[in-house]
Every structure is written in C-alpha cells, then in structure tokens.
Structure 1
C-alpha cells in the first residue's frame, strides 16, 4: 500500500497549476559546453599531479542564502557510480523554472577544491509527482528523467553536480566516476550506503519517521530520491577533506563506492590500499568479504572515521535497475530474511555475529563523544614529523563517535594501540577511544583512527569541537604519512605491528560502550 507524503504533496500542488503542461525535456547535450572543455582521457589515465595542475574553481560552493528547499529544486541520478564515458540519467524536480547543471570534480586544484568538467544548456524545469511511501515506509519517486548526462573525458573521481534554477537557487547531486582498475592505486571509497541510510528526504530514513521516531523509521530506503539538506552532506563533511588531501599528495588514486565493492568482486584487485572514509557505517556481506579478501592478498586498509562496519545491509532492485534499494530492518524479527548471513542486524548481533573488530581492529564505542586524542606510542611510524611525544594531547580530535579496542575474540592478536584517549559520551559515560594498527600474513597493514572527527579535522580548526590548529596539523601530517606509505605496498613488510593492548589493562567487558552486546 502506498500513501502520499503530506508535506511534499502540499508544496507540489501549490505550483502544479502554473507549471503543468510545460515544455518537453530538452535532449542531453552531446558533449561539454563549458568554456573549459573536458579532456577525453580514460578514467585511469591522468595522475593526480597532472589532473590537479589544471585550473580549478570555487564556483562549486553553495552559499546558505542560495540553498534551495527540498521541493524547490532537487534531483538524483539513476546510478551511484559510472565509468568514464558511460552516461547516466538525471531526475530533477523544480518549482523555480528552468535550471542548468555544472559538473565539478573534487580535488586539490591549487586549493580551490574542484574543477569544472561540463555545463549543460538550460533544461526546462517542472514539479515532478509527489513521492510515495510504501507499507514499510520506504520513500521513492516515480519521476520522468530530465536529461541524460555524458561523462566522456571525465577522470575518475568524486563529483558534485550543481543544479542552479532560474531564480538562482542551487542544490547538489553527487555522482562517482569509478576507476576502470584499482591496480597499483590507493582506493577511495565513497560511502553511499551511509548517505542513503541517513537520508530523510520525504520524511523517512533508516533512523526516523515522522516526529523523529525510531519506531516509524523506514525498513528500506531508495536511491530513487534526492538526498536531503544540500544534497551532498556526507560527501562534503566526511569525505571531501580527505579527497582534497589525497589528490594533493601526488599518490596514484582510484575511486569506487560501497555499491561497487559489493557488486564487483574484482573491484579491489591489485590495489595498494583501500580508504574507508569518515562515516562508513553500512556494509553488505559481499562488500565485507571483498575487503577482507583484498587485505589478505596484501591490500592495506585505512579506517579514517569511527562506527565503520556496524550495520549489515543488503540491496534490492527498483524500477531503475539493480541495487537501488538499501534494506536495513535493524531487527532480526522484523526482517523477512530469517537466520541468514545477510539478515539486516548489527554485524555484532545474532543470527550470524561477526563483530567489526576482526576487520577494523576495534568496536564502535559511543556517541556523542568529546575528548583529546592522546598519543600512546610516539615512535609509531605514521607519527613521524608530528613532534608528538608520549602523552601528547590534541583536543577535539577525538569527538562525535568513537571506537575502542578490546581484548576479546576477533581482535587481531598483534593489535598495536598507538593512541589511548579518555573521552566522555554524555554526562555519565566515561571511557576511552583508541587509534590502532595491525598487520596480517599477506603483509597488509590496517590503521584505524577511532574517531569520526578525523577527516573533518583535515579542513582546519573547528571551535564547535574545540579543535585547534595543532590538532588539525597533526591529523593532516599523519594522514599524509599514511597515504604515501600505503602507496608503496604492504605496510607490514616494513612496519610490522607490535602487540601492546594487554599493557593498557583494558577489561574484556564492553559495557562502557553504547554499541550493543556481542552475539
């Protein structure tokens, strides 16, 4: 059974009379129409140094006063990723008349942050039909495509499509141009599963329904709808700072999404490293298997956030194609797929518990966290050049959500705790957050920061979490050391881990955390 969402229906009806029967959608342009034409190169051809030497721009930014409302201007693509040269369709609703689209590739570009690759002609805008809500509260749209976007000559990377209406209002649509091959590269994975799980556009997410109620949350969420807020919140806040630093490093990079990890078993073949970004919470069984296989074949891993590999999800098809619906019941009893490895519960939960610590090295600990990143092992190779000594503290760097290492089943035996930071999670929970490193027989090294504030800190000081310039500089130097070291090959061959978890006296009880029981 489906029903209309009241808030969107009212807004659409209000403008339908003046917009109905508007002009037909203009065909997609045959190529770039911007003043700087796109170069026709394969997605793996240009090095970061060559690419980032090209002219950049700050025109990708949306000011608060120009941000369009949720129905005023919004859109989505029919793919979360494409290969260079593969077109995709864009579905847009506009109550503000005609609109244009500019495609920006995120990178360094002299500090400007992006390069303009393509500009569309004016596209007739119209309000699309109101979204629908299924019986399980999944919001989806059934819109007509507005145009087809070509990607000929677009290098692999994370992209922002900037929609701009005739009234000047703007909104983003993110898209990833995935790499043809990850061989020899450090792979950046855009966490699109997490984008969608938190997406409240249409009134429902995997977290909340009306009235901010968990009880009325959606059990499935669809990629066939726009993202809420500015359209690219997680990409900009939890991923862009790392992308910009990595592109500036000169290291060979490749780009994938969490959907690519789950659906292409060879996506990480030959990769030097894989980087899980700031909020990579939702993983399928296939994605975890692929990443574990890559690690065991020598691919280094970096978890530069916290709360990674926490919820187990799976995909279903929509009318637009496969893997367009993210399923996450968060309750084994409610999930119609019973007693299976992909029953959608926490990774640490029944019926098939596989806590995240066997991959990340740690467990999710708590939220909302606040504390100072506290160095435990100043001789750790990634801390070189930071000036850190034993006990050095970096206020604000351990914040938001955090992880902690425990001496329990699944924790790597050679786990090296390189930072052990006191944190408070609310007024009554006092615990620790850790940063860790371990190695495996293939030689691969796995580093985890244990803090969701790590990637935002790469932008610079942030008074909201009391993060100053020293903490930002420390995070940038460690991250640059990490990217450059991982690019040389398996870290464990030169930097084997040295077990020290036992020296902390940490209890095997996980009761200080709020992440839930094990098994």
Structure 2
C-alpha cells in the first residue's frame, strides 16, 4: 500500500495545541479533594469508551447526598506544556445517591444500572483525542472518567489505541473492603484483599474507575499522547474497544501506537492488528506485557455491545469461543503460534520491584542515532514495573530481521530469578516495523516531568520519523 508524505506539523493536532491550556482539572485545584469508593462522594462512568464528533455520550453519576454538581470536559494534549484544554461545562447537573450492586456469585461481575445524569453532545469541531470528564460536588469532592473522541473519517498518519480493556481488567471498584473485584483479586470475608479465589471472571464498564476515577497506568497513555502532540504528528485516537468492534480500519494508518499497558486483547483486536501489519502499517508498543491475556468482549445484560470483559485465566472457561479459552495467549494453539512473541518478537518475562537501568546495545543502529549512547551505556531507572524479553524457544515474526536494542539484567520480584529485558525492533522485507519498548517507564520518559529523558525522546522520534517516511 502506498504511504504518502507525513503531515507532521501544520495539521489539526498542531492547530489544536495552539489553543490555551488549563490545569484546573487537576486534583487539589480550588481546594478539591479526591472522591473515594467507600463514601462515593461523587463518582461516575461513561456510556461508551469513545464517541465520534457529532454524536453524544452519557454520564451516569452517583453522589453521597442529593445535590447539583458540575461536569467539566477537558481534552488532554501538550498545549504549551500545560497538558490539557478546557472545553465545556455541564452546570447544575442533578445527582443522587445510587446503589452499589452486589457481585454476581458465579462470575463476580459488578455492573451498575445508574440512570443518565448528563449527556454531552460532542461538537463536530472537536479534534480527536483523549478526554476527561471531571465531576465536582458542591462540597469540593472530585472524580473523573476518561473517554476518547475518535475520528475515523480522517485518515491521519498515526492512530493511537488507548487500552480500555486493560483499564477495566485492573479496575477494582468499589475498593471498599467488601464488594469490589477485578480480574486479579477481590476481598476476603474479613475485608482484607484476596487473590485468585476472590477475583472476578467478568468485569463491566458500567461502573466508575476506582477511587478518583483515573485508570491504572493512565499516565503512560497521557504521557505518550502529550509527547506525540508536542512533536506535531498527525494523530487520531481510538479505544481498544474500537479496534475490537471494527469501528476503525487499522490498515488505513501509516503507523499505530499502542501507548501504554496493553495486556488484555480479544481475537478481533489481534486479527485487526495483524491485518494492518500485513498491509504495511507500522506498529509501536510503548509499554510492556502486551497482548498477554486472551479475552472475550461481551454485551451487557440489556444487550449493549462492548460493555463486559471476560477472562477466566487459569480457571476453566465454560464458553470458549472461536478464539479459544480466555487464558494466556501463549497457551493457545499448537507450538505457541498464538503467543504474543510470534507477533512482537518479545514477550513479558518478569516484574521489577525497583527500577533498574536500560542497558543499550546495537548503539550504531539508526534507532539510537543522535542520542550519544554507546553499547553498554545505561539509561537510569527506565526498566520498571514489568519487562519484556526475547525467548529463543518461542516463535518469532516470520520473514523479519530483528534487532534487540537493549540487554538489561534485572531480578524478578516474584522470585523467578535473574532475567533480561529487551527492547526490540523487527523489520520485514518491505520495511514495515514492529517496535516494542519492553518496559513501563518508556512512555513516561517521553513527557512526564519526573521521568523525562532526552535520549528516550530522541530515540522515539527516530522511530516515528522512520515509520513516517513515504513508501511506494
């Protein structure tokens, strides 16, 4: 497929980021205090993970006492370093206490049935991006819920896929010592956190994200988005559910960025990504532990599509579909052919209790150009939380040349011994690239102040510039 010259700079995203930014959404501004799951001072959830301009999205909100609250909408981006832009406010929104549903005794599913509190009609002029709805009560409590404005009508150079299925897998709302569950744990009878015996097999988008409402590792995605918009790339956004539901044609884009912790994938998500790669679309995974668990995305009880994520993991799956049981992908298929390693060239291999340096290798490769790094040089604290590595026993991407750009030793915090982290780049005969950073701190190093690293920024810029070169 022909790939045109990139529209870096002078596009809708650069125009959008020329607007005045605002940090008024940040917790603590104007004396605001974070809501919590026990008292639910003000919390809410959205009816969709994404919405196109010209359509509407509903917000379902609960409060500790009946009152009027405000709902402010912000678009996240660079905006001269401020990080967000205020767009609109729903004032005088009537909210009331709503019940916390009990977990289903078999599957652990927790799904709210709160009425619509406020509806946002998304103007056609809004630019695709990551958005936050900010709920603020009259007594100064604040909660959030994220959503995406997608724009599939515009063929941007880059598509960023935001990992909403993984957000929900980790969402343990309500974290109240009694009801809450996610795909990892729940609560024991004495109110202490449990593990696999207490966890859910199914989790619903019809509930707030826990505590203040920002999903687990949300800052990986916001940091990547702010960096990309600062760099002026022509970028649009979609949720992982858009990829699953086929609302985006992934093969239309020159490059796709998977910006954060993207662990939970359905068969449809994997198929769409592989089809895009076969069509010549580059892939960049900026985190680690990607495409690890196979999931089903299912409808709610009242038939709304894409509202439940199902994953049985090591427990027997009572209804495996065409993609097989909902377990680790590397356990599916003959000879691990469905493993993430077969697409990515690396795979999750451990957890890190304390950040360690990323140790550079292949420093003469174009990826490291301009960084000043040499083989054996270390980028401090870049390998953190979870790591990917190359496994010679696993299938590799076919007909590709693979370069391992780092070789970083670390001790697995789960007691599984000494491991090696690898940042990987695979290139096929047409020049199509698959990049995997292999650590959680890579996207944070792009723009989050406490993690900012100029060498990571330069290397990632090298990667994107290479991906956006025109090809016949």
TM-score past 0.5 threshold: yes
1:89 and 1:149 in contact (8 A); partners too: yes
Give the length in aligned residue pairs: 439
Q: Deviations over 1:277-334 (max 9, x none)?
A: 2200000001101001101111100011100000000111112611101111113x52
Task: Report the 3-state secondary structure (helix = DSSP H, G, I; strand = E; otherwise coil) of the residue aligned with 2:252.
Answer: coil
Structure of higher CA gyration radius: 1
Task: Give the deviation of 1:461 after TM superposition.
Answer: 6.2
| TM-score, scaled to structure 2 | 0.88
Q: Deviations over 1:430-451 (max 9, x none)?
A: 1110011111244311111111
**Match runs of 1:221-240 below 5 Å:** 221-234=203-216, 236-240=218-222
Task: Give the deviation of 1:338 after TM superposition.
Answer: 3.8
Distance 1:334 1:264, change over 3 A: same
Q: Distance in 1 between matches of 2:103 and 2:408?
A: 44
Task: Report the 3-state secondary structure (helix = DSSP H, G, I; strand = E; otherwise coil) of the residue aligned with 1:172.
Answer: strand
Residue 498 (structure 1) aligns with: none
Task: Give the deviation of 1:424 after TM superposition.
Answer: 1.5
2:251 and 2:277 in contact (8 A); partners too: no
Task: Report the 3-state secondary structure (helix = DSSP H, G, I; strand = E; otherwise coil) of the residue aligned with 1:365.
Answer: strand
- In structure 1, the gaps of 5 or more residues are 1-44, 494-519
2:12 and 2:127 in contact (8 A); partners too: no
Which of residues 238, 241, 245 in structure 2 aligns to 1:259?
241
Residue 36 (structure 1) aligns with: none
Q: Distance in 1 between matches of 2:388 and 2:371?
A: 23
Q: Distance in 2 between matches of 1:212 and 1:476?
A: 39
Residue 445 in structure 1 maps to residue 433 in structure 2: yes
Distance 1:372 1:461, change over 3 A: farther
- In structure 2, the gaps of 5 or more residues are 1-9, 175-179, 188-192
**Match runs of 1:457-468 below 5 Å:** 457-460=445-448, 462=450
Residue 119 (structure 2) aligns with: 148
Q: Distance in 1 between matches of 2:381 and 2:148?
A: 31
Residue 362 in structure 1 maps to residue 346 in structure 2: yes
| TM-score, scaled to structure 1 | 0.81
Residue 406 in structure 1 maps to residue 391 in structure 2: yes
Residue 216 (structure 1) aligns with: 198
Task: Give the deviation of 1:482 after TM superposition.
Answer: 2.4
Q: Distance in 1 between matches of 2:24 and 2:181?
A: 32
- Aligned-residue RMSD, C-alpha: 2.1
Task: Report the 3-state secondary structure (helix = DSSP H, G, I; strand = E; otherwise coil) of the residue aligned with 1:121.
Answer: strand
Residue 459 (structure 2) aligns with: 478
Task: Report the 3-state secondary structure (helix = DSSP H, G, I; strand = E; otherwise coil) of the residue aligned with 2:342.
Answer: helix
2:132 and 2:147 in contact (8 A); partners too: yes
Residue 55 in structure 1 maps to residue 25 in structure 2: no
Q: Distance in 2 between matches of 1:456 and 1:314?
A: 29
1:181 and 1:267 in contact (8 A); partners too: no
Which of residues 272, 278, 282 in structure 2 aligns to 1:300?
282
Task: Report the 3-state secondary structure (helix = DSSP H, G, I; strand = E; otherwise coil) of the residue aligned with 1:337.
Answer: coil
Q: Distance in 2 between matches of 1:439 and 1:270?
A: 19
Residue 102 (structure 1) aligns with: 72
